[in-house]
Amino acid sequence: MSVTGTLRTVRGRALGATDAGRPLEPGRSHANWVHQRDRRGAWFVVPFVIAFILFTLVPVGYSIYTSLYNTRLIGGTVFSGFQNYTATFQAGDFWSGFIRVIIFGAIQIPIMLAIAFFFATMFDLGIAKWGGAFRTIFFIPFAVPAVVASVMWSFLLEPQFGPFTHFASVLGFQGTNFLGTNLIFPTLILIVIWEWTGYNMVILFTALKAVPREVIEAAVLDGASLAKVVLRVKLPLVRPAIVVLVFLNAIGALQLFTEPLILQAYAPQSISNNWTPTLYLYNTAIGGQQYNLAAAGAVIFGLVIVVLSLVSLISRRRRGEFA
């Protein structure tokens, strides 16, 4: 897509491009007027579109280009077709990380959304006391950078001195190593739940608040119980929000990077250099300086995310959003 292509306007198109839901008055002059002011509107989106092209489309394009070449010490850069892709597909390192983050998301996202929905509902209905204060507290981790959260949790769960390790041994679980091979997975789930539950809860709360009170009152007059109102009335009405959150969190899980990288310093035996796809890509590109191979991996990784985004977009469009 070129910028000029975006801005060029064809005369006489305005009637077809009326604003949604607002019928145009008949008459050519009005149509022209609408058309003219609409063309001027293009200038508003130009800055974003240029930045988007330079810092998203160009890098993606250049990655695809890089992924099709190989750099050798002798002979320079040569076209290699899909060689890097074949190498990436065959490398177990890449896929093991993918499978790991998929399992990670499949466990972590339902737990987190269930907690978030429970609290959002309770705050929405006003069943919990001091709902406003709790909402603020739950949201605080969103303001904590993942690096700090990871450092913090690795202190708390440190195998020798960590206070949580100490608690565990008081509770009868001596020698618990939260950062060991067996527990590193649940530990990371715990950290991510700590980081993101509040954010998800606030979004669900906002969505629940948008449900008209009349709907609830009507259900109550029909004799619906609290559980019924929550599960049969409220839940379906905020389903779009939940769907979006599932996709957002799934993409977050796919790109899991900071937490395992920081924890790796404390638990090198539990987290390998290819523990997640992004770790693999990072270590291949920056650590190994294998740009071409990493570019192929980055393209595949990006494609997976784009496909996921498209699925989410289509499902949202089908529900009538983004009309």
| Least distance between other proteins and beta carbon 221 (Å) | 10
On the CB side of 140, how many CA atoms lie within 13 Å of its CA?
8
Separation of alpha carbons 3 and 18, rounded Å: 23
- CA nearest to 255, candidates 247, 265, 243, 263: 247
Separation of alpha carbons 126 and 141, rounded Å: 23
Angle at 223 between CA 221 and CA 226, to 5 degrees: 105
Nearer to other proteins, 80 or 154 (CB): 154
| Least distance between other proteins and beta carbon 323 (Å) | 8
Residues facing residue 78 across a β-bridge? 70
| Least distance between other proteins and beta carbon 39 (Å) | 5
Nearer to other proteins, 43 or 175 (CB): 43
Q: Is 10 left (phi over 0), alpha (psi -120 to 50) or beta?
A: beta
Separation of alpha carbons 32 and 163, rounded Å: 71
| Least distance between other proteins and beta carbon 224 (Å) | 9
- CA nearest to 249, candidates 40, 99, 104, 60: 104
Nearer to other proteins, 58 or 78 (CB): 58
Nearer to other proteins, 51 or 106 (CB): 51
Nearer to other proteins, 81 or 287 (CB): 287
| Least distance between other proteins and beta carbon 256 (Å) | 9
